[in-house]
Amino acid sequence: MIVQAAIAALLVGSVPDPSPMHQIINSAHDAGETGRFENGHTLYYHYIVQYWQEYPAGSSRGENPSASAPGQFNEKPSVYVHGKVPPKEADLIARKLEVAHKILMELPSLKDIRGASLLSSINIRRTLSGHIEAELKLFARPISLGSPRTIKINGRYYTPGEGTSLDVEFNMPLFEYPRNLGFLSGKYNGNLLAYEDVFVVNSSRWPLQYHDHVDDITYFSNDPDFFDRTIPPSKLQLLVGKIRGGPPDMDLRMNNQGLSETEYISRLYAALYMADWNEIARKMEEVR
């Protein structure tokens, strides 16, 4: 059964002070209304989510034609397999992630996308340790109609260059590196957040281990023994949604005038926090 946390398997003594974790997981508080979590942390992108909860697909408040131009996108992501992954397992993982892709592309901020192209791919790989993991990447690049490199196909535009991605990670560690630290922010629109990443646990285990408690914040790192390697690699154990990259001036703009609700990176954040990740995980596990 898919749950937001493996509470039942959280053994007494496995975390020196499990109460902060239990309080967040079991709390009825949801920051979806205000953007503020019980621990005082606020989600910067809350105003972006609020905008897209009210406006339909294709919306744009762009100040120039490029920001309003329809972008290219692919109906199904390209699939790449790296290393020795059993073909049947790779096919099943790909089809599960295609379900996630279809659901995300129907969200108002991504459907009929404007001001950016949105090209998707799935990468399935066997790591050096033998673990099989996968990643769905929805990569958005801003459109520049004045660029000679811009391509128009069937009325939709694509400009090569840097961009930002919404990544859906299948059985990958919650934090990027084993020693990276993070904290549980709380629930937002029914989803459980570790800092700004959304995650769903489909296991009787817990993917994080206690690291430290400083200034009323409990920090966690990845549990290296979380993944059960005795079950098929196509069985979803952990699903993580996150945003990678951003424009060079993003931090400066966030601290000053803010991000426009309809620019390409904002559309990705809106999708990340508006999606029902527990439902996505359930739909993925229905694939046979």
pLDDT per residue over 38-57, tens digit each?
888 899 999 999 999 999 88
Q: Which residues pair with 222 in a beta bridge?
A: 208
Q: Is residue 32 part of a domain?
A: yes
Q: Is residue 12 part of a domain?
A: no
Name the residue range of residue 36's domain. Answer: 19-285
Q: Is residue 199 part of a domain?
A: yes
Q: Are strands 191-194 and 164-170 parallel, antiparallel or unpaired?
A: unpaired
Which stretches of the chain score pLDDT less than 50? Answer: 1-19
Q: Residue 187 to residues 89, 100, 232: CA-CA distances in angstroms? A: 32, 20, 30
Q: Is residue 115 part of a domain?
A: yes
Q: Is residue 168 part of a domain?
A: yes
Is the separation of the CB atoms in 277 and 200 below 8 Å?
Answer: yes
pLDDT digits (tens, 9 = 90+) for 184-197: 889 999 999 998 99
SS3 category, 121: strand
Q: Is residue 7 part of a domain?
A: no
Look at the chain and report how many structural domains it folds into.
Answer: 1
pLDDT for 69: 96
Q: Is residue 6 part of a domain?
A: no
Total Cβ atoms within 10 A of residue 150 = 17
pLDDT for 10: 32
Q: Is residue 13 part of a domain?
A: no
